[in-house]
Amino acid sequence: MLKRFFNSLEDPDRPLLGPNYWILKKLGLLLHFGKLGNIFTILIHNMGLLFVSTQYVDLYLIRSDLDLVLQNLKISMLSVVCVLKVNTFLLWCSKWKEVINYVTEADKYERNTDNPDNVQIVKKYTKYCRRITYNYWILVFTTAFITVVTPLLQYAYSSTFRESVKNGTEAFPHIFSSWVPINKNDFPFNWVTVAWHTYICVQGALVVMAYDTNVMVTMVFIGGKLDLLRERCKLMVGVNGVTTSNVDLAEKLRELHKTHVLILRYSRLFNSLLSPVMFFYMVMCTLMLCSSAYQLTSATSTAQKLIMAEYITFGVAQLFIFCWLSDDVLTKSEKVMLGPYESQWWLADSKQRRSVFLMAGQLRIIQVFTAGPFANLTLPTFIHILKAAYSYYTLLKK
């Protein structure tokens, strides 16, 4: 059933971004409903901003209880990042569409080839994108499901706990810590609050699924595009000992140069859209991992430990995937310049060799994705964040 659903998301017009484009469109993030429809979509998505404000109101009210403060911060920091993702996507929607259209058209161009090596590269990154997309969707859905269900399990299966809630000795186990203008611990307002929290959780999870997988697939494609560019550079002078003419070489060089310039242009555009979000995400992720680790070691109930373990797993996995894919693009960007040197340049004449070396010089321009102006989005940065989170955790334990 799940496989049949995933297969239904394939789009012949978007052979790479089919599932990713589908979820972006369903959530209205592409703003394709007309003026009034787009305004309504923006208002719906900004309900998350209203929810975040109630979280910080509640944070002020519970400021004297460290455990409640950490529990609130853990969720509110993720909520801030989620709101930032959706609002920056809506604000820069036209630029995101440029990136999406480039990826779609460039991918279609690469699929029209009979070179077996290029065909294998295209198949490889397509399969990789599907695996990342669907596995990440499952991870986010699982996290959201556990977040919603776990606080209510104790209430549902423990009659003693239900009695404690009724007589006021225990608070009702809400999904999130947030302020509401009603008594959220008494019936029926407690269940109204649960419904509100469930809606916010589902909406936030869908936004994360759409935004993050779109970013991840774009990174994978840029890496694949660099691999294909390197393969084309290997054939620029000719194959099997037969050199190409000066006219054909000039035409190939123009095409290779244009391809590389477009990769750099849209990679930089993509980075300008992603970098501010990743900067705030890394700061928030450090604090979130710290607070989750502290609560995991101090939690007494199984439900609390389960939630904390899930949050840590999700936070680390999400950050690792971003850093891993970005680091992979950086590595391929550094290696693409080897393409001209892997060609049969030694058989070319002096004029052709100069052209080959000029192309190699052009390919020395590398692309690295950043998290704000202070850090590159790489695996060493991922390790630094984990170290920082552990340092804050040891500080709290003392």
Q: Which pLDDT tens digit goes with each residue over 136-152? A: 999 888 888 888 887 77
Whether the pLDDT of residue 270 is over 90: the answer is yes
Identify whether 373 is preceded by a cis peptide bond (ω within 30 of 0). Answer: no
- Would you state the structure tokens that stand for residue 180, as one six-digit string? 């509401």
What mean pLDDT comes out for the span 278-305? 75
R_g (Cα) of the chain, nearest Å: 25
Confidence of residue 1 (pLDDT cuts 50, 70, 90): low
Distance CA 52, CA 378 (A): 30
Listed residue (261, 264, 226) closest to 110, CA to CA: 226
Which sign, positive or negative, has the C-alpha torsion 27, 31, 37, 40? Answer: positive
Task: Quick: pLDDT tens for 153-169.
Answer: 777 777 777 777 777 67
What mean pLDDT comes out for the span 282-287? 80
- Would you state the structure tokens that stand for residue 36, as one six-digit string? 């009034």
φ and ψ of 238, to 5 deg: 140, 180
- Give me the residue label for tokens 């978007």: 14
Confidence of residue 298 (pLDDT cuts 50, 70, 90): low
Q: Which of 26-40, 208-222, 234-248, 261-275 comes out lowest in average pLDDT? A: 234-248
Whether the pLDDT of residue 42 is over 70: the answer is yes
Confidence of residue 301 (pLDDT cuts 50, 70, 90): low
Distance CA 75, CA 301 (A): 19
Q: Which residues pair with 372 in a beta bridge?
A: none
pLDDT for residue 173: 76
Task: With both helix axes pointing from N to C terminus, report the angle between 116-157 and 189-234 in degrees, rounded to the nearest 10.
Answer: 170
Listed residue (376, 358, 359, 375) closest to 367, CA to CA: 376
pLDDT for residue 280: 86
Task: Quick: pLDDT tens for 315-369.
Answer: 788 889 999 999 999 999 999 988 888 888 887 788 888 888 888 888 888 888 9
pTM for the model: 0.90
What is the average pLDDT score of the chain? 85
**How many CA atoms lie within 13 Å of 92's alpha carbon, on the beta-carbon side?**
20
